[in-house]
A and B are shown apart, each in its own frame.
Chain A
C-alpha cells in the first residue's frame, strides 16, 4: 500500500536553482522521512521529521511538515548535478514496529 501522492512526479531544473517536492499522506504518523535513490541503487536516508515538529534543516535540505494537512515538503537549495535522483517520502505509523510506507516519488534532474 502507499500513503499518497508526491508532486511533481518529475522536476527538471538548472544547477543553482532550488527544488521543491511535496508529499501527502493519509494516516496518523510518528514521523516522516525523506530518502534519495540514485538510478537502480539503494536508498539513502536524508532527513527525518517527527510529528510534533514543523520544520527541520540539514545542510541544503529543508523539510516542513503540516500534520493538519497531512503533507510535507522537501526543499533542496542551490541544487547540483549530483542531486539528480529520485526522492521519496516515507511515513512511519504510530504503531510500534510497522513498516515505512513510501510515496510515489519525485524524479529530479539537475542540469549543469
Chain B
C-alpha cells in the first residue's frame, strides 16, 4: 500500500528556534497533504491543507505565519514551526488522502515536538 514517511519522529528545540517537519509520499504522488496537531490526551485537529503548487489553506485559529507550509513537489510537503514556544509542543502528523470514497488516508508516523 501507499506509504507516507514523516521525519523527524521526534525533536527537542529551544524556544525561539524554528523546526522543519518533512512529509514524503514514497510510492505515489500527492497533490494534497493534510497537517494535523494533537495535544496530549486529545484528538487530532486539522491545521492546514497543503496543495502542490499553490498556497496552503489554514483552518480557523491556525497562524499561517507561524506554521509555514510548503508543498514544493508532488512527493514532499513540509511544515515549519517558526519561533517555537513551549505551547507549540505537540504531536504533528501528516496525511495524504486516499481515493475519495474508496480507501483510507495514508498517515505519516508523526513528529513529537518538544519546545524547551
Q: Which residues of A contact B (CB under 8 A)?
A: 1-2, 30-31, 33, 40-43, 45, 48, 50, 88, 90, 92, 96-105, 107
Contacts and interface: CB of A to CB of B under 8 A. Distances in A.
Most buried by A among B45, B46, B49, B91: B46
A96 B100 contact: yes
Interface stretch (B17-25, B71-79, B80-88, B104-112): B104-112
B32 interface: yes
Interface of B: 32, 34, 36, 41-46, 49, 59-60, 91, 93, 95, 97, 100-101, 103-105, 107-110, 112
B32 A43 contact: no
Nearest to B57: A99
A102 B36 CA distance: 10
B93 A42 contact: yes
Contacts of A30: 100-101
A40 B105 CA distance: 19
Contacts of A105: 42-43
Contacts of B107: 42-43, 45
Contacts of B46: 1, 99, 101
B97 A97 contact: yes
Contacts of A90: 105
A43 B97 contact: no
Nearest to B51: A97
Given A88-B44, A101-B46, A104-B43, A42 B100 contact: no
